[in-house]
Structures are given as structure tokens and as C-alpha cells.
Amino acid sequence: GAVVSQHPSRVICKSGTSVKIECRSLDFQATTMFWYRQFPKKSLMLMATSNEGSKATYEQGVEKDKFLINHASLTLSTLTVTSAHPEDSSFYICSARTTGRIQETQYFGPGTRLLVL
């Protein structure tokens, strides 16, 4: 299957700092990547859809100025949590949609655990 990586896997930061999370598709090009957030014992909640070369589309209730998304290339999307606060602590997961295949699906990265102190 397709491989998606995320970096870092875990990050601890102080309140008020910004954190950047990278999502890479390693063996395929992804015109579309998605960013999810998962709270403990909850489902994955889609935050935004990232399209290469254009602005991200945010889901209702997600602050676009707080969660900056950049999709500069067909293999890389970044999520920057700006001025992080303890309530931003969560598990962030990206996925990349394959193209040119008969069966479309999304492949997920391993996730990034963010803890804001």
C-alpha cells in the first residue's frame, strides 16, 4: 500500500509557541491531503482539506488562522498550530488521497501527538 509519513511523531511545547507538523507521501503524488484530529476515545474529525497549489478548505468550526495549512508540493503538506494552547493538545493525523488508481482511498500517516504545557 501507499506510504505516508508524519514528522514529528511527538512534540511537547510551551503555551504560546507555534508547532509545525509535516505530512509526506513517500511513494506517490498526492494532489489532496487531509488533516484530522482525534480526541481520546473519539472518532477522527476532519479539520481541513489541503490541495496542492491552492488554499486549504477548512471544516466548520476550525480556525484557519490558528491551524495554518500549506501544500507546497505533490508530496508535502504542513500543518502549523499557531500560538498553541493546552486545549490544542491532541493527536493530529494526516492522510493523502491516491490518484490514478481504480480504487480511490486515503492512506494515513502515523499521527503526531501534540502536548501543550
Partner 1 sequence: DQQVKQNSPSLSVQEGRISILNCDYTNSMFDYFLWYKKYPAEGPTFLISISSIKDKNEDGRFTVFLNKSAKHLSLHIVPSQPGDSAVYFCAASVGSNYKLTFGKGTLLTVNP
Type of residue numbered 106: Q
Closer residue to partner 1 in complex, CB, 59/70: 59
* x-or-dash string of contact with partner 1, 60-89, rule CB under 8 A: ------------------------------
Q: How many residues bind partner 1 (CB under 8 A)?
A: 26
* Cβ proximity to partner 1, 51 vs 82, nearer residue: 51
Per-residue contact string for residues 7-46; x = within reach of partner 1 by CB under 8 A:
-------------------------x-x-------xxxxx
The total of other beta-carbon atoms located within 10 Å of residue 25's CB is 25
Helix %, strand %, coil % of the chain (to 5): 5, 50, 45
Please, are residues 112 and 4 in contact by the beta-carbon 8 Å criterion?
no
For residue 103, give the C-alpha cell.
480504487
Strand, helix or coil for residue 111: coil
User: Counting contacts by CB under 8 A, is residue 4 touching partner 1?
Assistant: yes
Helix, strand or coil, per DSSP, at residue 88 = helix
Residues binding partner 1 (CB under 8 A): 1, 4, 6, 32, 34, 42-46, 49, 91, 93-95, 97, 103-111, 113
